[in-house]
Amino acid sequence: MKLHSRLERYLAGIGTALADLPGADVESYVEEVLTPIRANLRIRVRFADGQMLAINEAVVVIADALAHLDYRYHCQGPGDALLFRYDSTPHFPDLPGFPEHKHLPSAVVAAARPEVPQVLAEAARSAAEGDAGPLSP
């Protein structure tokens, strides 16, 4: 199935960002292409210190632009403690930018959806610093 060029470029860009990620192993990478304009993406990355990042997205091309139908970027430390999670689950309606938000170890804050390369960089910084504390939104 030939993908829409916007979706094809998006997925290729994520592949490049993963290949350039230092000190990490991509444990799983699944592109579930539903139609030429819609795909689900599931990625699991493990860092050398045991930290894990799980990326889940549902994306679609609408009017030649990429739109995220749903997303979750979950990062946890080697002991399974939450480091951060960005998601669009509608369970904090009082936050600005609802439903987008970021979970930290001791708070939930308003946060727009970051691009996947930004999430990869945030997780890599956390792994490199060995910091299991809260990261800024």
Q: Locate the domains of the chain by residue range.
A: 5-129
Tokens 């299991």 found at: 132
The model's pTM is 0.91
- Both tokens assigned to 96: 């600005």
Asked if residues 137 and 102 have their Cβ atoms less than 8 Å apart, the reply is yes
- The percentage of the chain sitting over the pLDDT mark of 70, rounded to a whole number, equals 95
Q: What is the pLDDT of residues 21-77, one digit of tens each?
A: 988 999 999 999 999 999 999 999 999 999 999 999 999 999 999 999 999 999 999
20: Cβ contacts below 8 Å, ≥ 6 apart: none
